[in-house]
Amino acid sequence: MPTLEHNGLVDMFRENPALAPHLVELLFRMDLPPYATVTVVETALDQLVPVEFRADLVLELRDERGALVFAIVLEVQRDKDTRKKYAWPVYVGVVRAQKECPTVVLVVAPDADVAAWAAEMIDLGLGRGRIEPLVLGPASVPVVTDPSLAEQETELAILSAAAHGNGPNGLDVALTALGALGRFDREHAAVYFQIVYNALREPMRRALEALIMQRQSEGKATFPPFAQQIFDRGMQEGELKGELKGMLKGRRDALLRLLARAGLSLAEDDRARIEACMDTETLDRWVENVLGAKTTRDVFA
């Protein structure tokens, strides 16, 4: 089931389409065909295959004349799913056949075990064909602790914090990413903050909170106000009571954005239902239902 963190990572690439080819060239040292534009296109690959095959994003790279030169199928993978080893070759085959251009699968997998699993070569049968996904995970994403680099490559810093936040330099990586969120609007910064924070395990979360409080007391904190408020509540009350409220708002905002993109108009009662919902699992289910929904009734089923 898609989560706020999953959708946040997908939105990172949807709203900055050039990020995917940029990271392919930067981190994998691969030379892509010369291109001038990158565009997000359809994600349902159902023209030739069943509708359940749905990629997170499909990106088209076109040259200066508008000719299609390359395609990237992007998948965010937070857990191992054996079904994907059969689906990813379908994605590549269908996109390549439809668009008649070279195509790769790019998997975003912050967890080391999931990333290693995703990077395994997929044998199509008898060794006569194979798919090798490119994987953005701990092995390929660098440890970003330089604030100037984080300012220039903020999305890379966020991916770095998600991948390395629990490692030896976890605090520095997380602080560097959070310190670079100032260039985003509040809504996006809050989602990216949640991606980083939720990637941290409990000991690292508490260490981060303590360090933030120390820097605040010394007048050295440079983090967005909403992040500092979360830390304040956590330290004062012994737990992050404000976290649930933030998670609920993030899920509601994500749901409303997806509904708008799907062209589904909400009645006032439906909007009030969303605003009144206090259950994250229910909101996550509604987010998932948007995919393929024809009416708002399908979303709330």
Digitized pLDDT (tens) for each residue of the chain, 301 residues in all: 456 678 889 999 999 999 999 999 999 999 999 999 999 986 655 544 444 567 889 999 999 999 999 999 999 999 999 999 999 999 999 999 989 999 999 999 999 999 999 999 999 999 999 999 999 999 999 999 999 999 999 999 999 999 999 999 999 999 999 889 888 887 888 888 888 988 898 888 888 877 776 666 666 655 556 565 555 554 444 444 455 567 778 888 888 888 888 888 888 888 888 988 877 788 888 988 887 788 888 888 7
Distance (Å, whole) CA 47 – CA 188:
33
How far does CA 31 lie from the centroid of its chain?
24
Question: In the numeric block, which tokens belong to residue 118?
Answer: 């995703």
At 276, is the secondary structure helix, strand, or coil? helix
Question: In the numeric block, which tokens belong to residue 228?
Answer: 């500092």
Give 215-241 as a DSSP string. Answer: HHHTT---S-HHHHHHHHHHHHHSS-H
On whether the pTM is more than 0.75, the answer is: no
Distance (Å, whole) CA 69 – CA 230:
45
Distance (Å, whole) CA 102 – CA 231:
46
Question: In the numeric block, which tokens belong to residue 219?
Answer: 């007048």
How many CB atoms within 10 Å of residue 31?
7
Amino acid at 254: A
| Angle ∠(171,176,178) on CA atoms, nearest 5 | 95
